[in-house]
Amino acid sequence: MDHPGPTTRIPDEPPRSARPQPGGPVRRPGGRSAEVRRRVLAAVRTHLVEHGYDALSVDAVADRSGVHRTTVYRRWRDVGGLLADVLAEATSDDWRPPDTGTLAGDLVAVNREVHAALTADPPVTTALIAASFRSAPAADALRTFWIDRYDRCAVIVARGVARGETPARTDPRRLLVAATAPLYHELLLLRTPADPHLADRAARDAATAARAGAFTD
């Protein structure tokens, strides 16, 4: 599943105030509004890397980005809104689930992406999930994202059915949740130290279950 992961690049922070250029006005693609957004989101990512989620605040982001705190409150409402926007910026509309040729392979690939997102630096995904318990914008963004991603991944199960790897009546979402839920549970709720085999094991356990007829009524 597509989450912001370690390959998400942090763009350089632009200068605090753009200086007039020789020969013409300062160029601001997307207008002042877009530049404000770029600076603010860059500040969120940098602050997360350096200080973690607990230290993330609207004031901290405003100070680092040079955008006034009132503007940040006005546009993003709270820390959760900031994180939701960082996620929105980082995720790709054209993301597609992996296609490795086997159900287990696809689930392993998805779980590796989820694992990478949950252990990434900056910890955007874990921060957004934590924020979702306190912030409506964060909860909304997360729900929307997950609905979309679980929908897109249904094709993994359809391929499995087509290959005869799993019964035709397999509930796709139920299987996908079974594959991914242990990662979220272990890393976010139980807070167990990251186990490099966790993602693959959970995926393979789910594939074994599917083959055996689980996830069907």
Partner DNA sequence: ATGCTATCGCTACTCCAGTCGCGTTAAGCA
Partner DNA sequence: TGCTTAACGCGACTGGAGTAGCGATAGCAT
- Contact present, 86 and 4 (Cβ < 8 Å): yes
Report what 1 binds from DNA, a second copy, none; CB cut-off 5-8 Å by kind: none
| Dist CA 114 CA 4 (whole Å) | 9
Residue 104 CB, nearest distance to DNA (Å)? 44
Quick one: which of 79, 118, 130, 156 contacts DNA (CB under 7 A)? 79
Q: Does 212 bind a second copy (CB under 8 A)?
A: yes
Report what 74 binds from a second copy, DNA, none; CB cut-off 5-8 Å by kind: DNA
Secondary structure in 3-state letters for the chain? CCCCCCCCCCCCCCCCCCCCECCECCCCCCHHHHHHHHHHHHHHHHHHHHHCHHHCCHHHHHHHHCCCHHHHHHHHCCHHHHHHHHHHHHCCCCCCCCCCCCHHHHHHHHHHHHHHHHCCCCCHHHHHHHHCCCCHHHHHHHHHHHHHHHHHHHHHHHHHHHCCCCCCCCCHHHHHHHHHHHHHHHHHHCCCCCCCCHHHHHHHHHHHHHHCCCCCC
Report what 141 binds from DNA, a second copy, none; CB cut-off 5-8 Å by kind: none
Identify the CA nearest to 45 among candidates 10, 87, 89, 91.
Answer: 10
Quick one: which of 51, 68, 96, 163 contacts DNA (CB under 7 A)? 68
Quick one: which of 94, 190, 193, 196 contacts a second copy (CB under 8 A)? 190
| Dist CA 2 CA 110 (whole Å) | 8
Report what 68 binds from DNA, a second copy, none; CB cut-off 5-8 Å by kind: DNA
Q: Does 184 bind a second copy (CB under 8 A)?
A: yes
- Closest to DNA by CB, 136 or 212: 136
Report what 154 binds from a second copy, DNA, none; CB cut-off 5-8 Å by kind: none
Residue 122 CB, nearest distance to DNA (Å)? 18
Q: Does 88 bind a second copy (CB under 8 A)?
A: no
Q: Does 152 bind a second copy (CB under 8 A)?
A: no
Residues that bind DNA (CB under 7 A): 25-26, 28, 31-33, 35-37, 57-59, 66-71, 73-75, 77-79
Residues that bind a second copy (CB under 8 A): 54, 129-130, 132-134, 139, 142-143, 146, 174, 177-178, 180-182, 184-186, 188-191, 201-202, 204-206, 208-209, 211-215, 217
